[in-house]
């Protein structure tokens, strides 16, 4: 057996199939010839690096997100040790999964549950990224980490109109797993939960589909569940990422250097009410044309909106309450955020028969206080979109910088 087969999910599957079928020799011959055949390189995103993958990475099609709470009850030093062990185990597992390998630690005697739950055997990583963030609650008295809490990790304020479910909000640690294969993204979240049993419990989770943002100029702009192109004026270039997304040397906490702050908002969208609205009204809500994505002031999708333009009757062509006018950098002192949203559906609401669906809005930034919070204060007060949406879940997480080859997530946070 080649090394490739010893470590790849595909190898494990092939071996398993051979054992079950009882035709090991034939299958292994087939394996041998398969291994020798030229194969297409699987789509993989490097796990290690100065910055975590899954932030600036070209956005994948599927999301599995989960927030976990630690269940430790020792002294701060003992709890830190438990957290450190968890993060070491999780890092090794996440690294392996991103490389298309099974979760390490298989007990070959078969006297323990399999190290890997198995549903992704035979699947390629499909650009899997696994990104970690730490919530404000991790800096309470349990771990003795209060002095390491960054000022930018200030609790989010209450916003007008939100109706947050605390059971679907917050959490000590959050994991964002993105892949072009939904099984692979889910597998990552599930296996981290399993490995953490006894130290963490999952607090809330969300699956997302049909990315509703583009984080690279090479990607076509996708659509949200209201049928509009979403991500047209997202951040797409490295220089703007450096300025608005990644934490620089000026941070108050060294462990956050090259990290970023993630704000997650689960936003319910009233799809049935929206679908009854006239096309011109829908377009006025966003300030863009539905089919082309162009601003209401004309041109094509990527043309600059003209916020000063007026209709013949003197009213602004992009209405004062249009989502795009309110959120645009031109009208917010230049402020930008990196949007990495996904559409979601949780089925239907039994009491009304309406779809329970919306946008799982994820955004990354250098400092949420002057970025997400400033924008959301304005949007929550004036956005025409508010008639159709409600924020129902929320989380804020400090995502540290990336890991080197022999490092684990959060190593510099936990260094004494
Ligand atoms: C606080 C930040 C934002 C929230 C919350 C938010 C929710 C939200 N947005 C859409 C759909 C669209 N948003 C668009 C643009 C846009 N949105 C934000 C911020 C938030 N959106 C920004 C910063 C921008 C860019 C503004 C600009 O510079 O022009 C658009 C237009 C197309 C685009 O540029 O992406 C759409 C469509 C929904 C449906 C939603 C909540 C459910
Ligand atoms: Fe938006």
- pLDDT grade for 342, boundaries at 50, 70 and 90: very high
Q: What's the 234 CA to ligand 2 centre distance in angstroms?
A: 10
Supply the DSSP string of 361-406, one letter for each residue: EEEEES-TTTTHHHHHHHHHHH-GGGGTEEEEEEEEEEE-----TT
b/e 20-31 (16+ beta carbons within 10 angstroms → b): eeeeeeebeeeb
378 Cβ closer than 6 Å to some ligand 1 atom: no
Residue pair 186/178 in contact (Cβ under 8 Å)? The answer is: no
Q: What is the pLDDT of residue 2?
A: 32
Model confidence over 112-131: pLDDT tens digits? 889 999 999 999 999 999 99
288 Cβ closer than 6 Å to some ligand 1 atom: yes
Q: What's the 400 CA to ligand 1 centre distance in angstroms?
A: 25
- Taking residue 411's Cβ as centre, other Cβ atoms within 10 Å add up to 18
Task: Specify the ligand 1 atom closest to the Cα of 213.
Answer: 35
Give CA separation, 177 vs 14, 96, 132, 223, 269, in Å.
26, 13, 9, 21, 23
Query: For atom 6 of ligand 1, which residue has the closest CA?
Result: 361
Q: What is the pLDDT of residue 8?
A: 41
Q: What is the pLDDT of residue 17?
A: 30
**Which residues are CB-neighbours of 341 under 8 A, at least 6 positions away?**
208, 211, 212, 213, 224, 230, 231, 359, 360, 361, 362, 363
d(CA 212, CA 225): 9
- pLDDT grade for 389, boundaries at 50, 70 and 90: very high
Given a cut of 50, is residue 13 above it in pLDDT? Answer: no
397 forms beta bridges with: 262
224 Cβ closer than 6 Å to some ligand 1 atom: yes
Model confidence over 264-292: pLDDT tens digits? 999 999 999 999 999 999 999 999 999 99
**Which residues are CB-neighbours of 70 under 8 A, at least 6 positions away?**
79, 82, 83, 86, 138, 142, 172, 173, 199, 200
Give CA separation, 238 vs 55, 184, 216, in Å.
12, 28, 10
b/e 281-315 (16+ beta carbons within 10 angstroms → b): ebbbbbbbbbeebbbbbeeeeeeebebeeeeeeee
226 Cβ closer than 6 Å to some ligand 1 atom: yes
Given a cut of 60, is residue 14 above it in pLDDT? Answer: no
Q: What's the 99 CA to ligand 2 centre distance in angstroms?
A: 33
pLDDT over 90, % of the chain = 85
Residue pair 102/115 in contact (Cβ under 8 Å)? The answer is: yes
Query: For atom 10 of ligand 1, which residue has the closest CA?
Result: 230
- pLDDT grade for 36, boundaries at 50, 70 and 90: low
Residue pair 319/305 in contact (Cβ under 8 Å)? The answer is: no
d(CA 178, CA 345): 17
Q: What is the pLDDT of residue 219?
A: 78
409 Cβ closer than 6 Å to some ligand 1 atom: no
Model confidence over 200-259: pLDDT tens digits? 999 999 999 987 677 777 778 999 999 999 999 999 999 999 999 999 999 999 999 999
pLDDT over 70, % of the chain = 90
Q: Where are the domains of the chain?
A: 62-102+114-413
Q: What is the pLDDT of residue 416?
A: 67
Q: What's the 125 CA to ligand 2 centre distance in angstroms?
A: 30
Given a cut of 50, is residue 7 above it in pLDDT? Answer: no
Mean pLDDT computed over 142-158: 98
Please return the burial class of 112, using the count of CB atoms within 10 Å of its CB with bins 0-12, 13-18 and 19+.
exposed
d(CA 362, CA 349): 23
Given a cut of 50, is residue 6 above it in pLDDT? Answer: no
Closest ligand (CA of 376) = 1
Q: What's the 293 CA to ligand 1 centre distance in angstroms?
A: 12
Residue pair 176/395 in contact (Cβ under 8 Å)? The answer is: no
**Least confident segment among 22-26, 99-103, 218-222, 392-396:** 22-26
Residue pair 33/142 in contact (Cβ under 8 Å)? The answer is: no
The mean pLDDT of the chain is 90
b/e 237-251 (16+ beta carbons within 10 angstroms → b): eeeebeebbbbeeeb
334: left (phi over 0), alpha (psi -120 to 50) or beta: left
Residue pair 201/68 in contact (Cβ under 8 Å)? The answer is: yes
Could you report the predicted ipTM of this complex, rounded to two decimals?
Answer: 0.99
Q: What's the 270 CA to ligand 2 centre distance in angstroms?
A: 15
Closest ligand (CA of 271) = 1
SS3 70: strand
- Statement: the pTM of the whole predicted model exceeds 0.80: yes
Query: For atom 27 of ligand 1, which residue has the closest CA?
Result: 328
Of 399, 87, 137, 56, the closest CA to residue 257 belongs to: 399
């Amino acid at each position: 057996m080649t090394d490739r087969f010893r470590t790849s999910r595909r190898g494990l599957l092939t071996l398993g199939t051979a054992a079950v079928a009882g035709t090991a020799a034939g299958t292994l011959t087939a394996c041998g010839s398969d291994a020798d055949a030229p194969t297409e390189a699987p789509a993989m995103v490097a796990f290690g690096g100065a910055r975590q993958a899954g932030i600036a990475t070209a956005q994948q099609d599927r999301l599995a997100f989960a927030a976990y709470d630690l269940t430790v009850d020792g002294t701060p030093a003992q709890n830190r040790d438990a957290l450190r062990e968890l993060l070491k185990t999780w890092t090794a597992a996440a690294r392996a999964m991103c490389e298309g390998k099974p979760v390490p630690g298989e007990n070959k005697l078969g006297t323990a549950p399999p190290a890997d739950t198995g549903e992704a055997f035979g699947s390629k990583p499909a650009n899997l990224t696994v990104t970690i963030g730490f919530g404000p609650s991790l800096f309470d008295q349990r771990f003795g980490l209060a002095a390491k809490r960054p000022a930018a990790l200030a609790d989010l304020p209450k916003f007008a109109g939100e109706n947050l479910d605390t059971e679907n909000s917050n959490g000590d640690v959050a994991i964002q797993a993105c892949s072009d294969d939904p099984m692979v993204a889910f597998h990552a979240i599930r296996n981290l939960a399993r490995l953490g049993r006894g130290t963490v419990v999952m607090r809330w989770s969300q699956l997302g589909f049909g990315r509703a943002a583009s984080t690279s100029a090479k990607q076509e702009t996708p659509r949200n569940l209201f049928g509009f192109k979403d991500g047209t004026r997202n951040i797409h270039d490295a220089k703007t990422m450096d300025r608005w997304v990644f934490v620089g040397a000026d941070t108050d906490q060294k462990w956050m250097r090259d990290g970023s702050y993630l704000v997650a908002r689960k936003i319910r969208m009233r799809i049935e009410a929206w679908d009854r609205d006239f096309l011109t009204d829908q377009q006025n809500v966003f300030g863009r044309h539905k089919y082309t994505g162009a601003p209401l002031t004309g041109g094509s999708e990527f043309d600059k909106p003209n916020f000063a333009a007026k209709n013949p009757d003197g009213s602004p062509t992009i209405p004062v309450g249009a989502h795009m006018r309110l959120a645009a950098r031109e009208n917010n002192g230049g402020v930008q955020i990196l949007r990495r949203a996904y559409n979601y559906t949780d089925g239907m609401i039994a009491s009304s028969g309406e779809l329970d669906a919306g946008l799982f809005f994820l955004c990354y930034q250098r400092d949420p206080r002057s970025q997400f919070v400033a924008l959301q204060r304005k949007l929550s007060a004036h956005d025409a979109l508010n008639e159709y949406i409600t924020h129902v879940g929320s989380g804020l997480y400090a995502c540290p910088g990336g890991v080197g080859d022999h490092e684990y997530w959060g190593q510099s946070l936990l260094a004494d």
